[in-house]
Chains A and B, each alone.
Chain A
């Protein structure tokens, strides 16, 4: 016990100070997000992410939204390893021909009720890649999409605020 206290005093505060503006922004969106998720989903919202040919920047930002600064998980949003555990499918990328079957199968595997969110400009309409011979195009032509998060890539705060605005409107 004395050892722990001693180390604690010697080390001082090791947590990082975050920009107060950012903190307020995350906290206010976050607490509203949390209460909405509690009310509308019972307890938490589980998301499965699928990359259909993105450049990995969207993935990087989704991972960033889960880092200790933003920490989406504390507001009740979990990213899960299997579509069978998910309420929501988060799709990035312009849907490469090779990923079409995998995308459909992932969606089919999810138990209902379920919905789809697209993330990043490519997933909206193919973005920069829409004229390619190997791109199927908009995710909304393949699956029913409930929300699009714009950006190339969308920042973690954009992901959080888009989710919040969306959850306010669903019943």
Chain B
């Protein structure tokens, strides 16, 4: 038996804990298989001792070869740089399991997802409304992620039930799915008493394209381009997390040079998005000059991306087992020179923002997400760091970042200003990291190896600019994908927005929204 330490710790909270098996398939994964009756208590125990919110909770249809469904729950164990995965098998007749959501809020959305996609009922969950398969267009009783699903059968359609706030003088403001800006679709329903928002209900899923199902049946070396189109402004981190999962399965060691290059590109992606958000936050309070300035910086980084890799959004760079684009001395010099200009412009931008008292005042204490709320919701990434939660995969897992002495940026206040400041610090840190990485880059070297086809399952993960992106990949003996579960940080963070806006006025909503800047397509999949 491996790692008895964690089992002993689980027993301190859940004395009746017994595992069917404890495995450590990879250095950064610990897999616990338990009986269905122990699943809930084991998860709650891990939630308490690690402590970690649910990072991923998902099902797999294994009826074909095991006559059961499998449910996996993933927690982050930052102290030991590993992921703890609790698994159970559920019988195929009337599949159900006891809800975790009542004791652990971060499981709520995942359970709703399992219910709509697999028809496995989380018993006792008070909210089983569908997230992505809208009741108005998708007939009841069709579960698309089941293996025997072919086409949707006719069935009952219905309307979505919004949660309502009732009382004298309370009115609702519906917004979307088509918004005023050039932005993705989503429906926001505000309940307002006078000026302040007293409830915000988010209805998303408008950009659902069935991505997880599309992965199935593809060879794992071919599916990289699909991962790049899950969330277009986070193409690189998605393909990186995907490739890491595939690399773990195939057992290849990624060349050191490829690891460094991936670090550089990941930071470039973070930079163009962070500066875009700084501009967006300024624009949403009507401060348009910094927005124009920020978009010039963003354009400079996009053009730099194109010169370095041939693609403005860093697509077609990652491949399973390394990177497809090398960086020669000329490109390295170009990168270093361009960074100098970008750094100068960025400092000017920050000066402009900091010297506007009315701008800073508008941001201060707007859209506060308290640490306790953030922890309960399981918020992750940049938003969590702005609420004082020290969470960043770059910090806690070994790799190029640890060698570069990465410094994590956190703020305590959890307001729009805190999220702005985290972005500023991270942008500056990204420049430093790229300089360190570029310094380590030798003149030439291997950038990819050839991956072998093998069967297995693994978790890939990377800290994108919004937060962690996780891919859980499972392949068969022919190297075809059996199941690919994706969690973008947006899925974990949208709930945070609906709490952060409470008590704020509707005109501040765009500001709060931009300070989160979550992905619609990454959430809706």
- Interface residues, chain A, CB within 8 Å of chain B? 16, 19, 49-64, 67-69, 79, 81-83, 93-94, 96-102, 106, 122, 127-129, 131-135, 152-153, 155
Q: Quick check: is B260 within 8 A (CB to CB) of the other chain?
A: no
Chain B window 211-238, contacts with chain A (Cβ cutoff 8 Å), 1 for yes, 0 for no: 1011000000000011001111101000
Residue among B149, B181, B206, B233 with the most chain A CB within 10 A? B206
Contacts of B134 in A (CB 8 A): 97-98
Verify A134–B210 contact, CB threshold 8 A.
yes
Max chain B CB contacts within 10 Å: which of A67, A134, A152?
Answer: A134
Give every chain B residue within 8 A of A93 (Cβ-Cβ).
207
Q: Is the CB of B206 within 8 A of A56?
A: no
What string of 1s and 0s marks CB contacts (under 8 Å) between B296-331 and chain A?
Answer: 101110110000000011010000000000000000
30 residue pairs of the A-B complex, CB under 8 angstroms, read A19-B303, A50-B178, A51-B183, A53-B524, A54-B184, A55-B229, A55-B235, A56-B232, A56-B519, A56-B520, A60-B233, A62-B182, A63-B182, A63-B295, A64-B295, A64-B298, A67-B298, A68-B295, A83-B178, A97-B134, A97-B138, A98-B132, A98-B137, A98-B205, A101-B137, A129-B214, A131-B214, A132-B213, A133-B213, A155-B312
In the assembly, what is the distance between CA of A131 and CA of B300, in Å? 36
A128 to B180, CA, bound (A): 27
Contact flag A64-B206 (CB < 8 Å), given A58-B232, A59-B182: no
Q: Is B144 within 8 A of A55, CB to CB?
A: no
CB distance from B464 to the nearest CB of A (A): 13
Chain A residues with Cβ below 8 Å from B209 are: 53, 94, 96, 129, 132, 134-135
A132 & B214 in contact (Cβ 8 Å cutoff):
yes
Tally of B interface residues using CB under 8 Å: 51
Asked whether, in the complex, the Cβ of A102 is within 8 Å of the Cβ of B206, the reply is yes
> Which residue of the partner chain A has the closest CB to B149?
A133
Choose among A55, A81, A122, A135 the residue with the greatest number of B CB atoms under 10 Å from its CB: A55
* Nearest chain B residue, comparing its CB with the CB of A14: B348
Nearest chain A residue, comparing its CB with the CB of B315: A152
Report yes or no: A153 in contact with B214, Cβ–Cβ below 8 A: no
Interface presence of B152 (CB below 8 A): yes
Q: Is B27 an interface residue (CB 8 A)?
A: no
Q: What's the Cα separation between A16 and B207 when bound, in Å?
A: 37
Complex CA–CA separation, A98 to B375 (angstroms) = 32
Q: Which residues of B contact A97 (CB under 8 A)?
A: 134, 137-138, 208
Interface centre among B208, B229, B313, B345 (most CB of A within 10 A): B229
Q: Name which residue of chain B comes closest to A15, CB basis.
A: B296
Is B95 in the interface zone, CB < 8 Å from A? no
CA distance A161 to B460 in the complex (A): 40
What residues of chain A lie closer than 8 Å to B137, measured between beta carbons? 97-98, 100-101
